[in-house]
């Protein structure tokens, strides 16, 4: 994504007009738009990380079911966000 934008000061050009020209070139190149659009994007999790988290969820679900069968905890009401299946 390296886009180089450069301006050279002309003879008696003031610093403010140089900065203004540079800003216009940056806007024209679309650099600001690209940076703002990618600002809050997150990388996709790796396959291994997704797999381990899924395995952890399954394991936790199985432990909860086991405790419910043994009567150690109260079963959750499916109408109130309990089990999915």
Residue 4 lies in a domain: no
- Judge whether 85 lies within some domain: no
For residue 27, what are its two tokens?
Answer: 């806007």
Look at residue 58 and tell me if it is in a domain: yes
Averaged pLDDT in 10-residue chunks for the chain of 85 residues: 82 93 91 86 92 97 94 82 57
Residue 53 lies in a domain: yes
* Residue 35 lies inside a defined structural domain of this protein: no
Residue 3 belongs to some domain of the structure: no
CA separation, residue 81 to residues 30, 71, 75, 85 (Å): 46, 20, 12, 11
- Cα distance between residue 17 and residue 12, in whole Å: 10
User: With contact defined as beta carbons under 8 Å apart, do 59 and 51 qualify?
Assistant: no
Our count of domains for the chain comes to 1
Residue 13, domain member (yes or no): no
pLDDT (0 to 100) of residue 72: 92
Alpha helices in 1-85 (DSSP H): 15-29, 31-37, 47-70
Residue 60 domain flag: yes
Report the SS3 class of residue 72. Answer: coil
Verdict on whether the full-model pTM lies above 0.75:
no
Segments forming the whole domain that contains residue 60: 47-75
């Amino acid at each position: 994504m390296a886009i180089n934008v450069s301006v050279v000061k002309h003879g008696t050009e003031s610093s403010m007009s140089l900065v203004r020209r540079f800003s216009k070139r940056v806007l024209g190149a679309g650099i600001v738009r690209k940076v703002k659009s990618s600002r809050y994007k997150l990388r996709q999790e790796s396959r291994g990380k997704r797999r381990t988290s899924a395995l952890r969820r399954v394991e936790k679900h199985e432990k909860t079911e086991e405790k419910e069968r043994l009567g150690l905890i109260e079963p959750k009401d499916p109408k109130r966000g309990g089990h999915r299946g």
